[in-house]
């Protein structure tokens, strides 16, 4: 009888242990999966983030570009406040330009980058310029973007790409994951600036998002 109780106890302990480990793994899943360089979203230093940012070289570079839109909660309706967005891009030569004194991820992302924090209405705006494709001509023009919500780790969403880019082929379009919603924007010239609107839905098509 005692031996039977002993085996029952061992069984219960093993089940509890397995459940505990399983729960721990589930709890610690990284939202969005692996993301090399996403920690660059914290490199804004002492900069006070607002819902509008102007990237370096905006004034002297053409064509000028305004990226704007609204960030929504997972329901796609509620504006998301205090969400940090980080973007970086190539220059007009298709390079991640550096000045030689970069630190951290700026060594790879270059200095043409910026950060915003959404306001109460979930709005964001970046003033920059249209990037050039990589010199090897293997990818369409794009702007990388990372998201940081207050209660989740940082993760990437689909890059900004341009509807009128001839390099955005049907094959390229089919490979898009629509993380955060479609990253395809249609730039429209307004007051001398190409304006592209993109709304972002937090968690949409993001792995491990709850």
Q: What does the pLDDT look like over 16-30, one tens digit per residue?
A: 333 333 333 343 579
In the predicted model, what is the mean pLDDT of the chain? 89
d(CA 140, CA 158): 13
In the prediction, which pLDDT does 29 show?
A: 78
In the prediction, which pLDDT does 6 show?
A: 38
Dihedral sign for Cα atoms in the order 86, 92, 96, 101? negative
Which residue would you say has higher pLDDT here, 58 or 22?
58
- For 93-109, how does the pLDDT look when each residue is reduced to its tens digit (9 = 90+)? 999 999 999 999 999 99
Residue 70 near residue 200 (C-beta atoms within 8 A): yes
Structure tokens at 180: 């955060």
d(CA 192, CA 70): 22
d(CA 182, CA 201): 10
In the prediction, which pLDDT does 21 show?
A: 33
**4: pLDDT strictly greater than 50:** no
d(CA 43, CA 102): 11
Domain range summary for the chain, segments of one domain joined by +: 40-201
Of 18-22, 50-54, 76-80, 160-164, least confident by mean pLDDT is: 18-22
In the prediction, which pLDDT does 14 show?
A: 39
Which fold, 40-201?
Answer: Protocatechuate 3,4-Dioxygenase, subunit A (2.60.130)
d(CA 200, CA 178): 10
- Across 187-206, average pLDDT: 97
Instruction: Calculate the CA dihedral of residues 32, 132, 198, 185 and round it to 10 degrees.
Output: -110
In the prediction, which pLDDT does 12 show?
A: 41
């Amino acid at each position: 009888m005692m031996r039977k109780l002993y085996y029952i106890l061992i069984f219960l302990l093993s089940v509890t242990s397995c459940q505990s480990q399983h729960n721990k793994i589930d709890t610690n899943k990284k939202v969005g999966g692996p993301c090399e360089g996403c920690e660059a979203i914290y490199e804004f230093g002492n900069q006070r983030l607002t819902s509008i940012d102007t990237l370096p070289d905006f004034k002297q570079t053409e064509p000028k570009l305004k990226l704007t839109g609204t960030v929504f909660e997972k329901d796609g309706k509620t504006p998301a406040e205090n969400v940090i967005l980080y973007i970086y891009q190539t220059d007009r030569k298709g390079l991640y330009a550096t000045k030689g004194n970069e630190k951290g991820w700026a060594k790879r992302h270059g200095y043409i980058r910026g950060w915003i924090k959404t306001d109460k209405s979930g709005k964001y705006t970046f003033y920059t310029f249209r990037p050039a494709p990589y010199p090897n001509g293997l990818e369409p023009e794009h702007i990388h973007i990372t998201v940081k919500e207050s209660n989740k780790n940082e993760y990437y969403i689909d890059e900004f790409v341009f509807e009128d880019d001839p390099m955005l082929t049907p094959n390229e379009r089919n490979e898009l994951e629509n993380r955060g919603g479609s990253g395809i924007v249609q730039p429209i010239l307004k007051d001398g600036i190409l304006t592209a609107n993109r709304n972002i839905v937090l968690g949409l098509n993001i792995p491990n998002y709850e």
